[in-house]
Structure 1
Amino acid sequence: MTYWTRRNFLGGSAAALLGASAFANNPVAEAFAAKQPFYGLVMLAKRGVPVYVQTFGQANIEEARPVRNDTAFAVGSISKWLTSTTVLKLVESGKLSLDATIGKLLPWYRAEGADKVTLRHLLSNSSGIPNQFSTALKADPTLRNLPLSTRQAVERFCSGDLIFTPGSRFDYVSTNWYIVIGIIEEATGLPYQQTMRNLTLDPLKLSATGTDRTGAAEAYASITPPARKVDLHQPYMIASGGYYSTANDLLRAARAIFNEGFLSPQSVQALTHIEVPSENYTLGGRVKTLNIDGQRHRFAWETGRTGGYRSVLGHRLDGEDTVIILNNTDLPQKALDEFAYDLMHATVVT
């Protein structure tokens, strides 16, 4: 038998201290949480201001620690969106070009794709470079624990002959992002995580966003009995899915990036231009058109899955509406996407 609990800190100094807010219950959220073991957080915001925030269940079942409004969760591939934002800051400063090839940006890269694959192809997961990590991991599961440098990982897992013409297909592989880390480090002379901190996380005041999971919610494959499910990310894997964040940080980031001038208009256009129409995929994320009350609206649609964590960040590009869902009980990603649509009373157009 599954079970769920809810924790909502109400009003006054306790709410201010714990970062919690009191809102009327949302029937859609309550019904979703009652039907399955949904532990996590739901936030709805209007013009960057939360209008509904609700927490469900436990951040740590063994310690009976409830999810709070300021609990951090692993956000999986939302890390790609944050990485793409950092890349665009480097483009704005003239240190990178989206249409430069890997060979130009990473002089030591000698594989077939060096003169054919561009940074844009990598960020849109359409490079054609095969994922040699997954094959190697099946042969040796301990490989995930091996501390490789970025260059070692790229040369070992991201240097095979192209399996399709760059830009012609979508291939959602994490190894594209190992190369992106290498390119960022080559352009800046700094470790990737330091550049992320310098160019994106600190300027946006995303103090709760980072790669340190201390204090974050644990992730579970099941809750009765509790069985944890957490992926290990080596530094060369972080760009594709290794960051942790909170709902408040994600809301702040979406508003600043898309609506408040953190990126130039040209960069926002690049970040929201669909590169792979079959997947609605842009650079590090997706853009979807939703029908709400008979009106069509374009949303940046960032999702994340790693271990038992699932996340959704849906942000209307005009800044009017945002939905954020963070989960640590291994629910299907499709179920969370549909939950997000239901919360906004929306249907998907594209």
Structure 2
Amino acid sequence: MDLDVFVSAHRAEWDRLEALLRRRRRLTGAEADELVALYQRVTTHLSLIQSAAPDPQLTGRLSQLVARARSAVTGTRRAGWRDAIRFLVAGFPAAVYRSRHWWVPAALVSTAVAALLGWWIGSHPEVQAAIGAPSELRDLTRPGGEYETYYSSHPAASFAAQVWTNNAQAAAMCLVLGVFLGLPVLWVLFENMLNLGVGAGLMSSAGRLDTFLGLVLPHGLLELTAVFVAAGTGLRLGWTVIDPGPRSRRTALAEEGRAALGMAIGLALVLFVSGAIEGFVTPSGLPTWARIGTGVVAELAFLAYVYVLGGRAVRAGETGDLAAAERSAGVPTAA
């Protein structure tokens, strides 16, 4: 390619695009269409020059021109407090509401599994013996034992932060690993239910199930709900790999994946609340009914948030995905 001839043939288009960019806020409709067309042409020119006759100075000028034109054509959007409010009152609750047919069954089945494990361990001494030596089990379950002191063994603030971090990581694992057909999600769920079942079974065998529930329920209701939501969303993402429905698999995974990543942020906020309850309310001197009542109120508030705000948002067309203006455009569109 003769670079001088190419430049002479297209310099006027480049200069025209630069002139339109200088006054892009005052363009007429026809000029906006012209800007889009010139952007597409200059992008092609840049590609040809880079592949056939790379010239550093010309490539630099056209790269800068294309970048400015892309910003004008696709539009730049700055996230702010309005985006945060939209996410909290519509995007996140809508995403949770839409996935309820996955996380509600996951919650019911998982709770049943934990209850069965707790009954099996609590009613079979040979199983308890396989878990630990009698002296170790006594240290765990006795009044003032390790199950009780666990919640007050560290300063409340640092303990709440540690719990929040661990639970947020577990929820994120469920969301991210769901793409592997959901199988790792099932394992994460089983591990959580096994730990819960072991604790319930051992404390039940010592006649202290009421103490165990008084320690777990204040924070556990909201915490486990967040884990179930993450697991259900991960399972839904895994099923999308198998059956994307009427959408192409690529489109379906992109939409569900973006919604899942948004849910990771929302669930981190939910788990922050449960971590605060676990750090400050669970080990407090409040009566058991008050501690459990705090957990019940937090759980009911979250469910109302999902079913009222989320249901309303879904009926209004919200999916939990990014707004159309925030997604990558397949082709240039006028801002």
TM-score, scaled relative to structure 2: 0.22
Q: Whose RCO is larger (CA < 8 A, sep 6+)? A: 2
* Higher share in strand: 1
TM-score, scaled relative to structure 1: 0.21
* Higher share in helix: 2
